[in-house]
Structure formats: C-alpha cells, structure tokens
Structure 1
Amino acid sequence: MGSRAFPMTKRAGFSPRGGRGGKSVALFRKPNVDDLDLLRHPLGDLLATFSKSDLESATASLSSSPAIQKCQCVGSYNWVDAKSPTITVPGKPPAWTPPNEARRLQEDSGQYYRDPNAARFPEYPTEPAVHAIFQTNPDFTTSDVDIFGCGSTMGNLMRFVSSVDIPFRFSVEVIGNTVFFIRKQNDPRETIQGIRGFGHTFPEAYTTWGEDLKGSESHQRLIQYEFDGLKCVVRFECDGYIMDQEQTFKENTSSKMKQEPDVNSLLESFDNTTVGMHNPSSNEPIAIRNGGAVVSQDAIFDLKTRSGRFRREVDLQDIYPVLWLKQVPNFIIAYHDGAGLFEDIRVQDHREGIRCWENEHKSQIRCFAAILKKIIAVAQQSDNKLLEVYSPRVNHLEVREQHGEGSHALPDALMAKWGIVEDEVDSVEDPNESWDYYDNDDLGYGSDNFHDSDQEFPDFTACSADDCGYCGKCTY
C-alpha cells in the first residue's frame, strides 16, 4: 500500500488518526491525479534515455534473478499532529484491534494530502527520515548506502519495467556515495480529489495507536536491504502491526529486544481531544521527540478495503510487487457490503505468495535491478548532482538535469553529516555503453502533461463504483 495521506478537516486542520488511510493499493492501477505542470516545473537538459527493450536485451543472458536479502528496519518515526513539524522516534504503528462485533461505519469525508512527509515538511521531505535513522542508529554507515528511495519512487521504476503506461517524474541527488530518489509533485500540500468509500474510517475503527502515541498521524518506516549488489534504504508508510506476531517475535528474540526502546519509557501522551486542529508551519525546524518502540518486520501489515457487493476478489498479482518492494509479509483485505458494514475481513501471511511472485517474474526483477544501476551510473558521473528521472510514456525513461538551481534532498548540515565524498567513484558503470546518450534536450519526447504517482503507490481508497466493485468513486 502506498503512503496514506493524512486528512485535513473542514476546519482547515488535520483530522485525528487520519494518517492511517488503509489504502493498500495495486501497483499497476492508473491513478487519477493532477498532471505535473511542465510550465511550473520545466524539464532540464537531457543526459540519457533508457527503454524496457534495452533492459531486457542487456539482462537476457543472465541465468539467475536477484533477490532482496538481509532486510532490517534501520529507523522509524510517527508524524505528530502539532502546530510545528514534530516527529516521535522510533514511534510505533497502530495495532490491529478489531472490535468484537462488526458495526456499520461512516463513509470517508474531508480532504487528504497525497504525501504526509511533503505536506508536513515541504522544504526537505526526506529530512525527518534521515533524522530518524541517526536517532535510532547513531553509528549508521552512510557510505554503504547506494540508493535512498521510497515506495513511490521505487514503485515508479517497477511500473516502468512492467511496461505500465503511467507517466512519472521524481528528483535525484547524489550525496556522498548515495543516490537519493525524492518524490516530485505540483504542490507539497496537494490533496486527493473525490475521496469516497471507507478506506480511512475502517482503520480508524479497527486499529489503535498506543496510549503513549496519541495524536500520531502516520507511521513511517525505513528498511535497508541488499538487492543485486546494491544496498538500498526504502521509506514507506506502515499501516499497522499484528500484536500476536509481535509478541512471538519478542519471545523469540528477548535478548535483542532488551536493547531496543522500552515502550514504558516514553514521552507523555498527547491529548486526543485537541488533535487535528493545526496546520504545521514549514518555516520551523523539525521537533524530534523520543517515544514508541521498534516493531518487528514480521508483524507489520498493509491494508486494503473493497466493496464485496460483486464478490470480485482482489488481484494479489497487483499487490505482491508492492509487498515485495517494502518486504511487508502480511496483508489485510476487508470487504464491506457497500454501506460500511465489514463482515468479511481476511488477515493473511503472504510470504509464500510473494516468493512465488518473485520466482515467476525473474525477467522483470532483473530489469528493475538494471535500471537502478543505470540511474546510479548516470547520476554519479554527472557534474551536476541534482538530476531527475522522467518517464513521459511507456517504455521510455529519461535522466535529466534539474531545471535551474534545482532542489536538494537535505539541508546543508544534514547533508554534511550523511557524508560528502570528495573522491570520484572509479567503478561506476559507463552509461554510454549500449544506451542512447544525449547532451541536450532535442528529442521532443516530453509531454505537456503527465501523471505523478499518487502516494508511495496510487491511492485506491475510493474504488467501489458499481462498474468496478471497489468502494467508492474510481480514481483511475
């Protein structure tokens, strides 16, 4: 599921608990989002182009397929509803706490931001994630990280190698040895239009923030894993965790957990009656508070709601690439009767299904690894470390310089802390080999309009029109 945008109430604030949108989404659905205006965000000079067919040719001779390995959580934080930008580290996702009896829920209402990180801190949306890593792991080795991305940017590239016709665009910056991928959209406080269904009210009724974390809007999780020789850090929004599985994890790793934050040594609780009334100011620095506890990767889940009126099952082949990228083992699908009564809720461990999907999509995964390495190569060899990736149409991806002065992923002090490397990397792959390479923008491939990724993945909380069987107004 994509990053769940948190809601903005009619009183111009944020509604409490709205960050847990419950919108686990299919990776390959077309989002209904406003086009990123090329007049407001012009394209920079073209550096290189890539195609899916080129990637397939380059990887056809490979006998094996890369796999994600050594996944671990390296940081996490909760966005807190406050007057100024505030995070709690390590925070904690809401727990799965279904009521004893099903009750009819109200339909979603209000306005919801597409990206909670950009909306809360528009100047440097990646900054809170880096703070959370250093706060959790003071000795974190930044020089080992090849890619720092999120579910949205990594998902865009996965769609590209899957030949899905959804245009996208995101920023790139090289900081030290790391290539940062940063989401790009028209406005950091852009809202999702036409929200209907029960994708937000359902998790409000079926999951619960801990007493120490009242006022949390969303839980952001950072995982690190190895993939085809690359060490990747990926940020995504976590929908919740299953307490039974977390308890099993603690019992099996009690000695390790003793070193992790104690849930009883937390910051004082926030007053839930005042949550959601404030619009944080982007001019203030991020306030970092200690609280929460690290949750096992085995216990977290993605969540999706859907209308059960027509008994159309969720296509898990759309869901598995999302779970694979984020290494989320559990998936909850909740079907309602069209009027807010949920009587068919399935809580399932999908690790075996994800493994099968991975085995059946080896060519796609090899192409995904190849495009990551090609982007890294162009970025590291470029004199201008501020670039962007742009795919205006299916089977065509461009790497360009950012227009004008560009925008940075991190402020100067945090950029220096991540580590500026003076020496050039000697082992960078040559982007000219087997690829079309251009020094100027003379192709004319840029479209006047294109769709940005809705969230970390497109938002499908609003999907139950009679013609599709989801749970509200279709957004694709």
Structure 2
Amino acid sequence: MSDLKTTSEGVEEISRLDLASFAPAEAIITDVKHLASYNWIEASTPTIAVPGCPAQWSAPPGPRQVNKDSGLVYIAQNAARHPDSPLEPLFRSLYLENPSFDIKSIDVVTDRNNIRKLLSFVKPTLNKNDLESFTIQVDMTAETAIFSRKDTATSEFIGSDEFRGFGHEFEKAYTINQVKESTGHHRIISYRLGGLSFLVRHETDGYVRDSKSSVMDAELTGDNLADILNSLSLTPETTSIDEPSSKSKLTIKREGRTVSRESTLEIKTRVFHKSLKLTEVAAQLWISQTPKLVRAYHRRGIFPTPKVEDVTAALKVWEKVHQDAITKLVALIKCILRVTRKWGGSSTIRYDPLKDKVVVKKVERKKILPEDLYSRWESHIPADVTQNTSATYPG
C-alpha cells in the first residue's frame, strides 16, 4: 500500500492515479449464480417473504394513460424497513435457501448501489449527474468485507403538487404482483470479477414469463387446469413464519417461488423526445447481470405498448469497451480490501469531492449484522447437512 497516501494512522486516501498500477490486465464477470431472493411485505414489523417473487411483466395492449408518481417512494427500502440491520435480510434469505453456503469464500458482500458509486468515482463520465459525495460502511469479518449503504434519506414523499415522472406508477400499471402485500423484490447473486468473489444484492423490477410457461398456458384445458394451477401456487396453504433468532426483529415468511435470473428485467421510463441510451443504464444492469430492459416512452403520461429487450449481448460489448474503468474499479476495491483487512473491524469509505479522492478511515461503531450471523465465518456448515428449508437458520 506504499503507493497510497497515508495521511494519519487509520486513514488512507486513494486517488484515480493510484489505481493504474493495481489494475489487472482484464476484468470480466464470470461464474454468475443466483443464490437467494426475498420480497419486503407491508407489515407493522420488518417482514420478508422468501424466496418471494418479482412482479410479472404484463403490458396491456395499446396506449395507456398512467398517473404521475406520488406518495411514499423508497430510495433504500432495506434501510427504511429494517434500519437496525439493512443487510440482515440478505443473509437470512441466503442461508434459508442455501444452508451450506460457505460465506468465507466471498471477498465482498455488497448492494449493487455501492459498486455503482465506486465505479462512478473511477469514471465520472459513466454517471449522468455530477459526482457527489458518498459514504459506504465496511465491516471486516475474517477476510470478507461487508459493504453497507449509508444514505442520507431512505425514502421520500412525493406531494400531489410535485412532478417526479411516471416510473413507479408505470411499474404498478404494467406488472402484476405475485406476492401479497409485496413492496419490492430483492435478489442475491454471486460472481467472480478480476480475481475477487462478490455477493451482490439488488432490486428487480419484474420478470417475463418464459416460452415454456406460455406454451403450457396455451395447452391447458378442462380438469388439468386446476391441478396445474395448484402446483404453481405462489403461496403455500400454510405459510410458516420463522424467527431467525431471539435477538432479531426480522420476521420471515416462506412464500413465493424462484424465477430464473435470465427472465428478470429493469424498467425505465422517459418522455418520448429524450431517448434513453443503453450506455446510461448499462453499468447498473451489468453489476446485477440483469439481462432484460424495458424502455418505455410517454407523451404526457400516455405510454404506447413498450417492448422487452434482451440486452445480454450488448452488456458483454459494454464490458469489453469499458475495460479501462472496470479494471480500475477492481483495483480500487482491492486497495480498499488491503487497508480494511489490515485494520480489521469497522471502517468507512467516503468520497470527498473537494479532494476528489476516496478516503478510507478506521472507525468504532456498532456491528452491521446481528451477532448470531458472524458465527458463519467461524465454522463452515458441511455440504451433507440436510437441506431442510422449513428449519430456522443453522449457525
């Protein structure tokens, strides 16, 4: 770390110029795996449904008038609904769906938003707005860095006299909720990038039914319709509610069904005379490996039927074109890991616009996760453990 500037004990500064010497020759996302998912449920206490299910894309034929966005909208729903530990749902759903998952194999656990912020520092031109200050909290456990979002606001209320576009209302009009009282679907994936292993959580706007489902629906007749619909039921007849630990305030329902990553999509709305270029959203889709995109254009809130695009190939091209930025992103994360692993405990990553540098600082604070989850780093659950999904959480 001698290339980095140590301003005082427990403080390191990283500039963009530092990154070139640390950057690998190539950094391509590989070994993408879907691991877990959940939905937030509207309830009086923090409640998630595992595995949950994204809303199903269901575009009505012809043009449709959509109301403008209003009321409560979430900026960071995990923090808004569970401020005690915004990352706890990630780990609870992960261990419920993968009881033997070896968390020690992961270098970085993070929300997509944190990687977007670090990438925007590395290459500000990828950000449509000016690069603003940001803070990411880090907890180092064994060799794993847990990155936690630190937002100034986790939700906002849009008044009836304000205009913030049509995005949220468009989603309500063009998708069908698959889990009762759902307020958002989150997914956890893993992949490798530049020699590092990542566990990434992100929100998904919806999914499209695959061709197999469409063919099956078309073939349904008579008596077998009820049988097949019952077998596809999203909600078990008796939904169990598991308490992860006596110290946790999070309630978990077993509800929903897993849909493939290949069917997930991101929805973007825009006024008709301002075309949305893929480069404006490519970084977001690339980080979460979201393969489908809906670009919906409107005239005064009237949307013609939009199409679902498969952008998988375009994202691979974007990844190749932006290797300079991506390899430096890897270099930045490796620099952060070297510092935080050396210190252990808690740190903060802060972008200082005045210095135009990332400042990593050792701090003292409450741990990011409930205490029982840290035992997962101490002993790996063997693979022959019974995959009992109705059980609570091992470890």
Same fold (TM over 0.5): yes
Is 1:414 matched with 2:383?
Answer: no
- Alpha-carbon distance between aligned partners in 2 of 1:228 and 1:382, rounded to the nearest angstrom: 23
Deviations 1:48-104 (A, max 9, x none): 111111212443xx5x41100010111100000011111000001001011123321
CA 187–207 in structure 1, closer or farther in 2 if over 3 Å, else same: closer
Maintained 8 Å contact 1:175/1:420: no
Is 1:108 matched with 2:74?
Answer: no
Q: 1:289 aligns with which of 243, 253, 273?
A: 253
| Counterpart residue type for residue 349 of structure 2 | V
| Counterpart residue type for residue 34 of structure 2 | C
Is 1:300 matched with 2:268?
Answer: no
- Alpha-carbon distance between aligned partners in 2 of 1:353 and 1:188, rounded to the nearest angstrom: 32
Is 1:69 matched with 2:30?
Answer: yes
TM-score, structure 1 length as denominator? 0.68
Is 1:315 matched with 2:277?
Answer: yes
SS at match of 1:352: helix
SS at match of 1:243: coil
Q: How many residues align?
A: 344
CA 181–243 in structure 1, closer or farther in 2 if over 3 Å, else same: same
Q: 1:353 aligns with which of 299, 310, 314?
A: 314
Is 1:214 matched with 2:180?
Answer: yes
- Alpha-carbon distance between aligned partners in 1 of 2:379 and 2:343, rounded to the nearest angstrom: 15
- How far off its partner does 1:343 sit? 1.0
Counterpart position of 1:198 = 166
Q: 1:171 aligns with which of 132, 137, 151?
A: 137
Counterpart position of 1:122 = 83
Q: 2:288 aligns with which of 311, 323, 326?
A: 326
Counterpart position of 2:225 = none
- How far off its partner does 1:263 sit? 4.3
Runs (4+) of structure 1 moved beyond 6 Å?
none
| Counterpart residue type for residue 64 of structure 2 | R
Counterpart position of 2:387 = none
Is 1:186 matched with 2:155?
Answer: no
- How far off its partner does 1:216 sit? 0.5
Is 1:266 matched with 2:235?
Answer: yes
Maintained 8 Å contact 1:79/1:216: yes
- Alpha-carbon distance between aligned partners in 1 of 2:232 and 2:263, rounded to the nearest angstrom: 16
- Alpha-carbon distance between aligned partners in 2 of 1:304 and 1:161, rounded to the nearest angstrom: 25
Counterpart position of 1:462 = none
Between Structure 1 and Structure 2, the one with more helix by share is: 2
- Alpha-carbon distance between aligned partners in 2 of 1:163 and 1:53, rounded to the nearest angstrom: 14
| Counterpart residue type for residue 180 of structure 1 | I
- Alpha-carbon distance between aligned partners in 1 of 2:39 and 2:377, rounded to the nearest angstrom: 22
Maintained 8 Å contact 1:49/1:396: yes
Maintained 8 Å contact 1:335/1:344: no
- Alpha-carbon distance between aligned partners in 1 of 2:248 and 2:34, rounded to the nearest angstrom: 28
SS at match of 2:186: strand
Q: Structure 2 unaligned segments of length 5 or more: list them.
A: 1-7, 126-130, 217-230, 240-246, 381-395
Counterpart position of 1:152 = 113
| Counterpart residue type for residue 330 of structure 1 | K
Maintained 8 Å contact 2:56/2:209: yes
Q: Structure 1 unaligned segments of length 5 or more: list them.
A: 1-43, 251-261, 271-282, 422-476
Q: Aligned-residue CA RMSD in angstroms?
A: 2.6
Deviations 1:161-196 (A, max 9, x none): 103522211100012321000011235556679552
SS at match of 2:167: coil
- Alpha-carbon distance between aligned partners in 1 of 2:80 and 2:29, rounded to the nearest angstrom: 31
CA 161–420 in structure 1, closer or farther in 2 if over 3 Å, else same: farther
- Alpha-carbon distance between aligned partners in 1 of 2:142 and 2:157, rounded to the nearest angstrom: 34
Counterpart position of 1:434 = none
- How far off its partner does 1:247 sit? 4.0
CA 191–388 in structure 1, closer or farther in 2 if over 3 Å, else same: farther
Maintained 8 Å contact 2:63/2:305: no
| Counterpart residue type for residue 207 of structure 1 | T
* Higher RCO structure, 1 or 2 (CA under 8 Å, sep 6+): 1
TM-score, structure 2 length as denominator? 0.81
The sequence identity of aligned pairs, in percent, is 31
- Alpha-carbon distance between aligned partners in 2 of 1:392 and 1:192, rounded to the nearest angstrom: 29
SS at match of 2:325: helix
- How far off its partner does 1:353 sit? 1.1
CA 286–415 in structure 1, closer or farther in 2 if over 3 Å, else same: same
Maintained 8 Å contact 2:35/2:94: yes
Counterpart position of 2:226 = none
Counterpart position of 2:43 = 82
Higher mean Cα deviation, 156-165 or 230-239? 156-165
